[in-house]
Amino acid sequence: MEPQKKLVTLTVNGREVAEYVDVRESLLELLRNHLGLTSVKKGCEVGECGACTVIVDGETIDSCIYLAVWAQGKQIRTLEGLMGPNGELTKIQEAFIEEGAIQCGFCTPGFIMSATVLLERGEQELTRDMIRKYMAGNLCRCTGYENIINAVQKADKERHS
């Protein structure tokens, strides 16, 4: 039986995209394999590690368990879409570098995407416990979470100053 294909039109990092995808294909596969957005990592493939985290209409989503066809008409942001017009980094990306929150880098894009949504929500100044709770869907095997939490808290403090 031949795979069923469907045309999906969505906006990725501010650019409208139309792609034919297998109806069983994940958003992760669309982003990586069709669009070449390699910041979206394929980790556990069951929505547990957060390496594939992207922002869909302002919410963090594990793209490995989100079908590409569900993204029809949606706004998708990946790490590639965060950079400024001249390639400048965001405050959270700078904070990850400054706080040593990066080791191998595999989980980093997912953490940054989750932190981006947390910071964009504009809530009160974030406590370490609030950051830990929100970032619980992202796993890291090598950095340790203290530096990641430090980075999010640093970016949050800059946002409030």
Which pLDDT tens digit goes with each residue over 6-18? 999 999 999 999 9
pTM over 0.85: yes
Residue by residue, DSSP assigns 115-127 as HHHHHHT--SPPP
Would you say domain 5-81 falls under CATH 3.30.70.580?
A: no
Could you tell me the CA-to-CA distances from 10 to 4, 17, 101, 132, 133 in Å, in that order?
Answer: 19, 5, 32, 32, 30
Largest CA distance in the chain: 59
The per-residue pLDDT for 104 is: 87
Stretch 71-77: mean pLDDT, rounded? Answer: 98
> What 3-state class would DSSP assign to 43?
coil
Same fold, 5-81 and 91-160: no
Superfamily designation of domain 91-160: [2Fe-2S]-binding domain (1.10.150.120)
Q: How far is CA 35 from the centre of its chain?
A: 15
| d(C-alpha 10, C-alpha 153), whole Å | 32
pLDDT tens-digit readout, 106-148:
999 999 999 999 999 877 899 999 999 999 999 988 877 899 9
Length of the chain, please? 161
